[in-house]
Amino acid sequence: MTAVDGSSPAPAPGAPSPGAAAPGDGGFEALFQHAPCGYLTTTDDGRITRVNDTFLTWTGHRREDLLGTAFARLLPVGDRILWSTHSAPRLGTGSGVSEVVVEVVAADRARRPALVTATRAPARDGAGAEVRVIVFSAPERRAHERELIAALHRAEESENLRAAAEAEARRRALLDPLTGLANRAGLCAHLQAALAAGEGPVGVLVVDLDHFNVVNESLGTAAGDELLLTVAQRLRAEVREGAVVARLSADEFAVAERCEDAGAARQLGERLLEALSVPVVLEGLEVVTSASTGAAVARGGSPERLLHDAGAAMQRAKAGGRHRVEVHDPARTDAAVDRLRLLGELRRGIAAGELRLHYQPRVGLPDGRVGGVEALVRWQHPVRGLLAPVEFIDLAERSGLVRELGERVLDTAVEQAARWARDPQHPTLEVAVNLSTRQLTDPGLVAAVTGALTRHGLAAHLLVLEVTETALVTDPGAAEAALAALKELGIGIAVDDFGTGYASLTYLQRFPVDELKIDRSFVTGLGVSDGDTAIVRTCVQLAHAVGVRAVAEGVETEQQRDALVAMGCDFAQGYFYSRPLSAPDLAQWVRSR
């Protein structure tokens, strides 16, 4: 069978002929002619418009025999069908190419297997006419192609290896190298996905080993590592499938697991602690590990928030005696936020002069003469009204704001006492000012006190500073130095809430103290509880034994007053005489007596 009807002798390859060259193609034309593949272009209905030299050389056909004829006639009948059904120009739509393996009939009627690739959609030839491009890959070319493909595969493989290495590096970045558990980033990634999935609440437990550094330091880091591996193993054994166990830092682990509620998280936490409390043998020694655990449960929010809440709960577990589980309570966060807000308001309030002092008289026993007052701070809050110290002193103390607060109080109290001292209508009153622990150990205290006294012209002996036992024992060295300096100025020192702290007799002798204020909790029980009565009596005797005055706080009844008189207590203070009053009310109260 002839390949093409009316085949005739082939022209010299590359000879110029219609359809062989498009005007102005230059280098492209040469490339087209000598490309390593046979190229044809056809009209949309399959008539050959151009053919390259490679194709002519390969098949032995002459260009003039092919131009204008149907391309399909180059194929054996069977392949013609294959071509028309499977391939261009009718196959598919849009861009892209079709490929089919066919046989091409050469000029000598030999059949040459070829991979035929054809554009599905018309392309434009050099002259701008719409054509389809058909490419023949000769078998001998295919060997070369195979090589190329193999090389490509090799390249791909190495590319795959590189990608795999990258994936491995990514994976490693999420892993703790020692235990193989997730690290913090890995845990966060997991939590992110779990929270975003919205499949119900997720619990996070932060497990912090107690005294891990003791193991590390006494048995060495290898033993420490072994302990960590054991912990990792035990935690993994306790959690459900799908849970993630992570190591957050040296001795801090975390577990993320679906947890119905806080109760379930607590149960899980307790299970973890139990698993960890089984002794581990390290270097031949049986070591018992304990851990402090904090849990938090959330349905949404960020992984960081959840971890933070669990971490805060863990800190509470640690502070609360270790080896226990604390569950984060959202209300506590609200309370913390409230405290933070209040702190901001207090800072502003102090600057805006919203602090007020009330004065509670202190009377001598048994005659009831007023000799002094205790200044007690209040905060005139613009919205919440007059706030008692219990609502903000602790906050101020913990934040350090108590320094500013204390200086204001001191200044106002000294100013008021100086005013009374100058007023001939008013008895001269000693004023007692409360100092917090922080204030007592503040190196600026003595300067602040001296400053206030000189500013307002008050004699030092009219000022008493009240310090608690706790303040004295917190930093005895600093307290002793501060008190000695204050004493030097001639200021009186009172030990407040006496009997509730840990100050011993030695402290009383060591510190230059002038009076003991017997705590209200004992005074309340006077005459009611034998124990309290005995304590108050002992306190009075103790004060007198070391040569200081005894002051009873919180005297509310006549009975209490009488008992105190009988014991020889020197001063009394309490609602029985008066509540703390504003300065004008106090002046009124003094006049009325």
Cα(269)–Cα(148) distance, integer angstroms:
60
Q: Could you give the CA distance from residue 322 to residue 35 in angstroms, rounded to a whole number?
A: 80
Token pair of 132, please?
């389809």
Q: Does the footprint of Ca ion cover residue 434 (CB under 5 A)?
A: yes
Q: How far is the CB of 494 from Ca ion (least distance, A)?
A: 8
CA-wise closest residue to 415 among 451, 465, 439, 390: 451
Q: Which residues ranging from 102 to 161 are in contact with ligand C2E (CB under 6 A)?
A: none
User: Is residue 268 a contact residue for ligand C2E (CB under 6 A)?
Assistant: no
* Piece of 173-181, 193-201, 361-369, 551-559 that binds Ca ion (CB under 5 A): 551-559
Task: Count Cα neighbours of 581 within 13 Å in the Cβ-side half-sphere.
Answer: 17
Asked if residue 501 binds ligand C2E (CB under 6 A), the reply is no
Q: Are strands 385-387 and 370-381 parallel, antiparallel or unpaired?
A: antiparallel
The answer to whether residue 469 forms part of the interface with Ca ion (CB under 5 A) is: no
430 binds, among ligand C2E, Ca ion, none (CB under 5 to 8 A by kind): none
Tokens standing for residue 360: 């509670």
Task: Give the one residue of 575, 582, 588, 593 binding ligand C2E; rule: CB under 6 A.
Answer: 575
**CA angle 99-105-109, nearest 5°?**
165
| Number of residues located near Ca ion, criterion CB under 5 A | 5
> Whose Cβ is closer to Ca ion: residue 65's or residue 553's?
553
Which one of residues 252, 345, 407, 466 is an interface residue with Ca ion (CB under 5 A)? 466
- How far is residue 582's CA from residue 428's CA, in Å, rounded to a whole number? 17
Q: Is 436 in the site for ligand C2E (CB under 6 A)?
A: yes
Q: Does 389 bind ligand C2E (CB under 6 A)?
A: yes
Please state, in angstroms and rounded to a whole number, the distance separating the CA atoms of residues 143 and 136: 14
Give the one entry of Ca ion, ligand C2E, none that residue 440 binds, where binding means its C-beta sits below a cut-off of 5 to 8 angstroms depending on kind.
Answer: none
DSSP symbols for 349-367: HHHTT-EEEEEEEEEETTT
- Among 393, 429, 548, 550, contact with ligand C2E (rule: CB under 6 A): 393
| DSSP percent split of the chain into helix, strand, coil, nearest 5 | 45, 20, 30
Give the nearer residue to ligand C2E in terms of CB position, either 297 or 467.
467
CB closer to ligand C2E, 56 vs 446: 446
469 binds ligand C2E (CB under 6 A): no
- Note whether 434 binds ligand C2E by CB under 6 A: yes
Considering CB under 6 A, how many residues would be counted as binding ligand C2E? 22
d(CA 407, CA 529): 40
Least separation in angstroms between residue 494's CB and ligand C2E is: 9
**Nearer residue to ligand C2E within complex by CB, 25 or 391:** 391
Stretch that binds Ca ion, among 126-134, 222-230, 294-302, 433-441 (CB under 5 A): 433-441
Site membership for ligand C2E, residue 376 (CB under 6 A): yes
What is the DSSP code (8-state) at residue 389?
Answer: G
Residue number, 25 or 556, with CB nearest to ligand C2E: 556
Please say whether the beta carbons of 39 and 54 come within 8 A: yes
Whether the Cβ atoms of residue 298 and residue 196 lie closer than 8 Å to each other: no
Q: Which two tokens stand for residue 163?
A: 């990608």
Query: Candidates 288-296, 437-445, 484-492, 553-561 — which segment interacts with Ca ion by CB under 5 A?
Result: 553-561
CB of 443 to ligand C2E, least distance (A): 17
Would you say the C-alpha torsion 289, 293, 299, 305 has a positive or negative sign?
negative
Task: Tell me: does residue 257 bind Ca ion (CB under 5 A).
Answer: no
Considering the complex, state which of residue 148 and residue 351 has its C-beta at the smaller distance from ligand C2E. Answer: 351
* Cβ 445 to ligand C2E shortest distance, Å: 12
Non-local CB neighbours of 571 within 8 Å, separated by 6+ positions: 362, 363, 364, 365, 371, 372, 515, 549, 550, 551, 552
User: Exactly one of 52, 360, 412, 560 binds ligand C2E (CB under 6 A); which one?
Assistant: 360
Amino acid (1-letter code) at residue 294: G
Instruction: Give the residue, chosen from 188, 195, 370, 409, that forms a contact with ligand C2E under the rule CB under 6 A.
Output: 409
Taking the C-alpha atoms of residue 267 and residue 240, their distance in angstroms, rounded to an integer, is: 13
Residues near Ca ion (CB under 5 A) are 434, 466, 496-497, 553
Residues near ligand C2E (CB under 6 A) are 360, 376-377, 388-390, 393, 406, 409, 434-436, 496-497, 520, 553-556, 574-575, 580
